[in-house]
Amino acid sequence: AQSVTQLDSHVSVSEGTPVLLRCNYSSSYSPSLFWYVQHPNKGLQLLLKYTSAATLVKGINGFEAEFKKSETSFHLTKPSAHMSDAAEYFCVVSDPASGGSYIPTFGRGTSLIVHP
Amino acid sequence: DAGVIQSPRHEVTEMGQEVTLRCKPISGHDYLFWYRQTMMRGLELLIYFNNNVPIDDSGMPEDRFSAKMPNASFSTLKIQPSEPRDSAVYFCASSLGSPTAGSRTDTQYFGPGTRLTVL
């Protein structure tokens, strides 16, 4: 069975400082991993995804994440936070369920707060 | 493509009434998912379909909830009768499964959600 743990429910940073949102996963297979972002009163939007290619994945808006199998982690980073980055971020793991389909499991989310 | 379309965007109803939420997935996508999001429980997968067939409805909370997908371009989630604890944002998402062995689902595309308030 797959699972995902987002280690922080809230992260607060100042504008212009680095962002680190932590995610650990558990999977019996080679999983796909995703980060989604949800701005207030909006649906979820894909930031980036890892599907067994390069371990460092670059996404939209300057975000990137590194897949570390030995640590079962997929942390999301950005060198410099913008006010517009304030949102809820979801880490997602997906591996073959019964029948072979990859069905995603979402983390509880991390709320990123950006101070001026 | 217009993306995943959900209607209505907001629904306010009274306890005991029937509520129907609608979703139009992205054309060509063969997986459709219904989620519920609340502050207390986060994002919960309720049910998903593959090629219009319900595959896993283990996340549906009670018999009051039912979902259908009569064709590839339309799905409904019905709550009957509704209760105040059903108040949440309901999301529909679709994705394209790979034609290779394993039917690997890829990126999910989410609709804007329906905010349901049951009084």
CA dihedral A60, B100, B31, A51 (to 10 degrees): -30
Q: How far B114 CA sits from the closest chain A CA (Å)?
A: 10
Q: How far is CA A62 from CA A19, A54, A59, A71, B57, in A?
A: 11, 17, 6, 24, 37
Which residues from B are below 8 Å from A91, CB to CB?
none
For the cut 90, the answer to whether the pLDDT of residue B80 exceeds it is yes
| pLDDT 10s digits, B2-41 | 799 999 999 999 999 999 999 999 999 999 999 999 988 8
Strands, E, within chain A: which ranges?
3-6, 10-14, 19-21, 23-26, 32-38, 44-50, 56-58, 64-68, 73-78, 87-96, 102-106, 110-115
| pLDDT 10s digits, A70-102 | 999 999 999 999 999 999 999 998 876 655 566
Nearest residue on chain B to A99, judged by CA atoms?
A: B102
For the cut 70, the answer to whether the pLDDT of residue B66 exceeds it is yes
B42 touches A at CB < 8 Å: yes
Q: Is A106 within 8 Å of B112 when comparing Cβ atoms?
A: no
Nearest residue on chain B to A43, judged by CA atoms?
A: B112
Q: How many CB atoms lie within 10 A of CB B81?
A: 14
Pick the more confident residue, A103 or B13: B13
Q: Among B9, B39, B102, which residue's Cα sits nearest to residue A95? A: B102
Which residues from B are below 8 Å from A44, CB to CB?
91, 93, 108, 110
Q: How many CB atoms lie within 10 A of CB A115?
A: 11
Question: How far is Cα A66 from Cα A64, in angstroms, rounded to an integer?
Answer: 7
pLDDT value at residue A100: 56
Q: In the structure, what pLDDT confidence band is assigned to residue A3 with cuts at 50, 70 and 90? A: confident
Q: Is B42 within 8 Å of A106 when comparing Cβ atoms?
A: yes
Residue type, B44: E
Q: Point out the residue among A45, A49, A90 whose CB comes nearest to the CB of B43.
A: A90
Contact between B91 and B110 (Cβ < 8 Å): yes
Contact between A17 and A81 (Cβ < 8 Å): yes
- Quick one: tokens of B45? 């997968």
Pairs of CB atoms within 8 A across A/B: 60
pLDDT value at residue A76: 98
| Residues forming a β-bridge with A46 | A36
In the three-class reduction of DSSP (H, G, I as helix; E, B as strand; rest coil), residue A61 is classed as helix
B25 touches A at CB < 8 Å: no
pLDDT value at residue B88: 96
pLDDT value at residue A10: 96
Overall average pLDDT of the A11-23 stretch: 97
Which residues from A are below 8 Å from B106, CB to CB?
32, 49, 51, 102
Q: Point out the residue among B42, B104, B112 whose CB comes nearest to the CB of A42.
A: B112
Question: How far is Cα A47 from Cα A60, in angstroms, rounded to an integer?
Answer: 6
Overall average pLDDT of the B78-94 stretch: 96
Task: Name, in order, each residue with C-beta under 8 angstroms of A109's C-beta and a sequence gap of 6 or more.
Answer: A6, A9, A38, A88, A89, A90, B42, B43
Q: How far B85 CA sits from the closest chain A CA (Å)?
A: 19
pLDDT value at residue A50: 87
